[in-house]
């Protein structure tokens, strides 16, 4: 019996790439990423105050420095997606170092709506002592009815 693959007892080399194993691996990776992606969302759970306001136009391509205060009064420093818990004492020093490296970077404050007003004022005072002259406050728009 002579066919395209059996000529004189020798097999003709196949010039096509078998992509079925590649597709199987890609589907497995897709499922893995779909399952793990929601777990990768990290951050401090903060309920922001809801107010109607205009967004701040950023003239720079740099990520702002975001200082957060959660319900328990713990402080977090975030820049470029990296978030770390810091004490109030070291917060000012860290922000000062970041501003020395990248002058003109915006500093934003995220305060949970249930944090006492005094915590936010203390945070803003600490930032002012560190040399931050312009601080923005982050809020969420109210839900539409």
- pLDDT recorded at residue 43: 57
Is the pTM higher than 0.75? The answer reads no
Asked, for residue 90, whether it belongs to a domain, the answer is yes
Structural domain contains residue 22: no
In a domain, 40, yes or no: no
Evaluate whether residue 49 is within a structural domain: no
Q: How many CB atoms lie within 10 A of CB 88?
A: 15
| Residue 77 falls inside a structural domain | yes
How buried is 94 (Cβ within 10 angstroms: 0-12 exposed, 13-18 middle, 19+ buried)?
Answer: middle
**Is 41 a domain residue?**
no
Answer whether residue 38 is part of any domain: no
Up-side HSE of residue 68: CA atoms within 13 Å toward CB? Answer: 22
Domain containing 128 equals 65-137
Query: Residue 3 has what pLDDT?
Result: 55
What is the per-residue pLDDT for 6?
A: 55
What are the per-10-residue average pLDDT scores of the chain (145 residues)?
Answer: 57 81 94 83 60 59 83 86 86 87 86 84 86 80 72
Cβ neighbours of 10 (radius 10 Å): 8
Q: Per the structure, how many domains does the chain have?
A: 1
State residue 25's pLDDT score. 94
Determine the pLDDT at residue 32: 92
Q: Are 91 and 67 in contact (CB under 8 A)?
A: yes
CATH of residue 82: 3.30.420.270
Residue 124 belongs to some domain of the structure: yes
């Amino acid at each position: 019996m002579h066919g395209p693959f059996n000529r004189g007892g020798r097999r003709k080399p196949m010039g096509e790439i078998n992509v079925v194993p590649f597709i199987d691996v890609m589907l497995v990776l897709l499922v893995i990423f779909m399952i793990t992606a929601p777990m990768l969302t990290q951050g401090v759970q903060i309920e922001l105050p809801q107010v109607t306001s205009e967004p701040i136009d950023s003239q720079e391509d740099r990520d702002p420095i975001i200082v957060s205060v959660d319900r328990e009064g713990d402080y977090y420093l975030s820049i470029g997606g990296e978030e770390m818990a810091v004490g109030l004492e070291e917060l000012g020093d860290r922000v000062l170092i970041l501003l020395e490296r990248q002058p003109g970077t915006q500093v934003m404050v995220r305060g949970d709506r249930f944090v006492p007003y005094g915590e936010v004022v203390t945070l803003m005072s600490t930032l002012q002592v560190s040399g931050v002259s312009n601080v923005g406050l982050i809020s969420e728009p109210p839900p539409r009815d």
